């Protein structure tokens, strides 16, 4: 059979990896897919730069329309990134009856509902394994491998840049700003690292994963998002002494009243495998009723690790592109007419346990007042640690660290407001959520 023809939009880090992996492994890929997969044309801004990757045999165009309206092309890969151009081109490709493969989590998190609806209407596939945790086949696992299960929760390290920064902060005892500079120098963090460090990239990914796990629409706009920019080395060190590691987790969990969807720095018991995922690596923990807890670990970014997922999607699409659309795997794992309207819970209704650090005056009765407020709010204390600080202008200060049992966030907010108002609490209270993940 004649090779299936692919148009590639964007040939940067992931685009060039995709081209190279496809070419290097073409024979293996052909044996798996049942026919060859060939890059027909590449859309790039600079023909010269694209030629450096693809050589002279592949057509390079500077007008995307030459790909989208070409009847010889069956599949379009979008690897430009961002919202506007990517969305226009993906919607045009779908309208032209082409299957789409994309690594663009930002696009799917924000416009997924519209894109999937358009694809369904046209009977084409939109495949996006590379969009979440790069090369780790987590979309495949959730959509296909775990379909027997009722999924209870998912917690993942799904942003490599922030995991690298947190690993460095812990290993070297440095504060956030210092490590960010180092990460940028080493090329881990982008020149504008906002989406990574503010948790937005992880929220894009967890919104996609949540939809597939629970059979609800992608609802990034309802996610609670908190990044790592305000974290201090002192809290990483105190948490370590109490047996916890700090990770930026994307978490989604089924509750009786709705679905939790959140990204924030999270303390995890040091003995958990996921707590020991270091550097830029990713890991996703899935808890489901039949299989129990399973962990998916690997490279969440990089040219060829991400291309691994893009090419796997190409193989899937090649195998299924002549199949009746009803026989394909639904975009969000559940049949589209079976998606649920379960609400996403506001953060005030989320249930977690907490780490609190209070800088207090070292006086009689201070601790009693603090624990009194927690008791009044029905919040139970799990562990308590007191560390003296240097005396400052004659006043003796101390750090009090409190680990609580689970409580609803709204109640913790009330307790923190009351504690913060005490004259003996000398600095803003640090609060970090904690998850046992068992
Ligand atoms: N880099 C990774 O490790 C990684 C991992 C997972 C997902 N992704 C996603 O993959 C996508 C691509 O990321 P990347 O790292 O390869 O980015 P990149 O910046 O290296 O590549 C993007 C390419 O698109 C081209 N481009 C931008 N605007 C264009 C336009 N208007 N017309 C034509 N070409 C244009 C750029 O010139 C560049 O070659 C993004 O959606 C990203 O979020 C990347
Ligand atoms: N910026 C992302 C790239 C992969 O999506 C990360 O750091 O993980
Ligand atoms: Na993936």
- Indicate if 142 and 266 belong to the same structural domain: yes
> Among 140, 205, 247, 299, which one carries the catalytic annotation?
205
Residue 160 lies in domain: 138-299
Question: For residue 187, what are the contacts with CB-CB under 8 A and spacing of at least 6?
Answer: none
- If asked whether residues 86 and 118 sit together in one domain, one would say yes
Q: What is the SS3 assignment for 233?
A: helix
Q: Which tops the pLDDT comparison, 187 or 298? A: 298
What is the token pair recorded at 328? 């394909």
The answer to whether position 95 is within a domain reads yes
Residue 274 lies in a domain: yes
Whether residue 21 sits in one domain with residue 102: yes
Please report the sign of the dihedral spanned by the C-alpha atoms of residue 112, residue 116, residue 117, residue 119.
positive
12 is in an annotated binding site: yes
Q: Is residue 345 part of a domain?
A: no
Specify the residue with its C-alpha closest to ligand 1, atom 15: 13
Provide CB contacts within 8 A for 307, sequence distance 6+: 14, 17, 18, 20, 21, 22, 130
Is 250 one of the annotated binding-site residues? no
Q: Is residue 344 part of a domain?
A: no
Measured by CA distance, the residue closest to atom 3 of ligand 2 is 301
At 355 the pLDDT is 98
- On whether 105 is known to bind a ligand per the annotation, the reply is yes
Has 16 been labeled as part of a binding site?
yes
Cα–Cα dist 382/126, whole Å: 47
Answer yes or no: 98 catalytic.
no
Which of 338, 365, 395 lies at the terminal end of a domain, its last residue? 338
**Ligand 1 centroid to 160 CA: how many Å?**
17
* Residue 417: predicted pLDDT: 98
At residue 185, the pLDDT reads 86
Q: Are residues 132 and 142 in the same domain?
A: no
Query: Is residue 184 scored above 90 in pLDDT?
Result: no
Q: How far apart are CA 376 and CA 358, in angstroms?
A: 18
Q: What pLDDT is recorded for position 387?
A: 82
C-alpha of residue 283 to centroid of ligand 2, in Å: 13
Ligand 2 geometric centre to CA of 58 (Å): 29
Taking the C-alpha atoms of residue 2 and residue 4, their distance in angstroms, rounded to an integer, is 6
Q: Which residue's CA is minimally distant from atom 4 of ligand 2?
A: 301
Residue 346 lies in a domain: no
The pLDDT tens digits of the residues spanning 223-258 come to 999 999 999 999 999 999 999 999 999 999 999 999
Ligand 2 centre distance from Cα of residue 317 (Å) = 25
pLDDT of residue 209: 98
The reported pTM is 0.97
Q: Judge if 42 and 111 occupy the same domain.
A: yes
Q: Does residue 353 have a pLDDT over 90?
A: yes
Q: Which ligand is nearest to the CA of 305?
A: 1
Question: Looking at residues 95-110, what average pLDDT do you find?
Answer: 98
Question: What is the model's pLDDT at position 393?
Answer: 64
Residue with CA at minimum distance from ligand 1 atom 5: 301
For residue 364, being part of any structural domain is answered with yes
Query: Are residue 271 and residue 201 in the same domain, yes or no?
Result: yes
Helices (H) and strands (E) in the chain, counts: 15, 17
Q: Give residue 265's region: left, alpha or beta (phi > 0; psi -120 to 50).
A: beta
| Residue 301 Cα: closest atom of ligand 2 | 4
Which atom of ligand 2 has the smallest separation from the CA of 164? 7
Q: CA-CA distance, 227 to 204, in Å (whole number)?
A: 13
The residues near 273 (Cβ < 8 Å, ≥ 6 apart) are 283, 295, 297
Please state the atom number of ligand 2 nearest to the C-alpha of residue 190: 1
97 and 230 fall within a common domain: no
Q: Which residue has the least CA distance to atom 14 on ligand 1?
A: 13
Q: Which residue has the tokens 């305000």?
A: 230
User: Contact 268/166 with Cβ under 8 angstroms?
Assistant: no
Report d(CA 317, CA 69) in Å as an integer.
19
ipTM of the complex: 0.98
14 annotated binding-site participant: yes
Question: Which regions of 289-426 does DSSP assign to beta strands (E)?
Answer: 292-299, 351-361, 381-388, 397-404, 407-408
Residue with the smallest CA separation from ligand 2 atom 2 is 159
Do residues 51 and 29 both lie within one domain?
Answer: yes
Average pLDDT in the chain: 96
Q: Is 428 helix (H, G, I), strand (E, B) or coil?
A: coil
> Is pLDDT above 70 for 60?
yes
Per the annotation, does 9 bind a ligand? Answer: yes
299 alpha carbon to ligand 2 midpoint, in Å?
Answer: 10
- Output the ligand 2 site: residues, CB below 6 A: 134, 159-161, 196, 201, 300-301
Q: Is 77 helix (H, G, I), strand (E, B) or coil?
A: strand
Instruction: Look up the CATH number of the domain holding residue 413.
Output: 3.30.70.260
What is the pLDDT, as a whole number, of residue 236?
96
Residues with CB under 6 A from ligand 1: 10-15, 43-45, 79-81, 85, 103-104, 130, 134, 301-302, 306
- Both 233 and 370 in one domain: the answer is no
The tens digit of pLDDT for each residue in 29-58 reads: 999 999 999 999 999 999 999 999 999 999
Within this chain, do residues 91 and 202 fall inside the same structural domain, yes or no? no
pLDDT at position 205, please? 98
Q: Are residues 425 and 308 in the same domain?
A: no
Based on the fold, state whether residues 278 and 405 are members of the same structural domain.
no
242 is a domain residue: yes
With 0-12 / 13-18 / 19 or more C-beta atoms within 10 angstroms meaning exposed / middle / buried, residue 38 is middle
pLDDT of the residue at 394: 67
Q: What is the domain-level CATH number for residue 92?
A: 3.40.50.720
What's the pLDDT at 191?
Answer: 74
The pLDDT tens digits for 126-175 are 999 999 999 999 999 999 999 999 999 999 999 999 999 999 999 999 99
pLDDT at 71 over 80: yes
- Per-residue pLDDT tens digits for 386-428: 987 766 666 789 999 999 999 999 999 999 999 999 999 999 9
From 284, 311, 338, the end of a domain falls on 338
State the distance from the centre of ligand 2 to the C-alpha of 245, rounded, in angstroms: 21
Instruction: Out of 103, 111, 305, give the residue to mutate to test ligand 1, the one with the largest number of ligand atoms within 8 Å of its CB.
Output: 103
If one counts the domains in the chain, the total is 3
Interacting residues of 166 by C-beta distance below 8 A, sequence separation 6+: 228, 231, 236, 246, 247, 248, 265
- Per DSSP, the three-state class of 398 is strand
């Amino acid at each position: 059979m004649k090779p299936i023809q692919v148009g590639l939009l964007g040939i940067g880090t992931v685009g060039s990896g995709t081209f190279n992996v496809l070419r290097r492994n073409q024979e293996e890929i052909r044996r798996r897919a049942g026919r060859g997969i060939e890059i027909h044309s590449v859309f790039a801004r600079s023909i010269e730069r694209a030629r450096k990757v693809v050589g002279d045999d592949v057509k390079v165009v500077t007008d995307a329309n030459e790909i989208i309206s070409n009847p010889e092309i069956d599949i379009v890969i979008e690897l430009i990134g961002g919202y506007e151009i990517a969305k226009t081109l993906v919607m045009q490709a779908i309208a032209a009856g082409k299957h789409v493969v994309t690594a663009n989590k930002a696009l799917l998190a924000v416009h997924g509902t519209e894109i999937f609806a358009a694809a369904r209407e046209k009977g084409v596939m939109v495949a996006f394994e590379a969009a979440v945790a790069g090369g780790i086949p987590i979309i495949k696992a959730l959509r296909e491998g775990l379909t027997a299960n009722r999924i209870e929760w998912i917690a993942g390290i799904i942003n490599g840049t922030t995991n690298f920064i947190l690993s460095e902060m812990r290993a070297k005892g440095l504060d956030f700003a210092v490590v960010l500079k180092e990460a940028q120098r080493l090329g881990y963090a982008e020149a504008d690292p906002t989406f990574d460090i503010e948790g937005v990239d992880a929220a894009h990914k967890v919104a996609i994963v949540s939809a597939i796990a629970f059979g609800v629409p992608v609802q990034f706009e309802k996610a609670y998002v908190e990044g790592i920019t305000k974290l201090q080395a002192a809290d990483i060190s105190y948490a370590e002494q109490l047996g916890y590691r700090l990770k930026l987790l994307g978490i989604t969990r089924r509750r009786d009243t709705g679905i939790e969807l959140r990204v924030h720095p999270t303390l995890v018991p040091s003995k958990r495998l996921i707590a020991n995922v270091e550097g830029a690596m990713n890991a996703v923990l899935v808890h489901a009723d039949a299989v129990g807890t399973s962990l998916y670990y690997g490279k969440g970014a990089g040219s060829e690790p991400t291309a691994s997922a893009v090419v796997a999607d190409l193989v899937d699409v090649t195998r299924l592109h002549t199949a009746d659309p009803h026989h394909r795997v639904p975009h969000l794992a559940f049949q589209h007419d079976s998606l649920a309207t379960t609400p996403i819970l506001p953060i005030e209704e989320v249930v977690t346990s907490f780490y609190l650090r209070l800088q207090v005056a070292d006086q009689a009765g201070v601790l009693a007042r603090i624990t009194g407020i927690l008791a009044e709010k029905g919040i139970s204390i799990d562990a308590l640690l007191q560390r003296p600080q240097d005396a400052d202008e004659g006043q003796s200060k101390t750090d009090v660290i409190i680990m609580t049992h689970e409580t609803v966030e709204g109640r913790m907010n009330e307790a923190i407001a009351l504690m913060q108002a005490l004259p003996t609490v000398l600095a803003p209270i640090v609060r970090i959520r904690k998850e046992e993940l068992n």
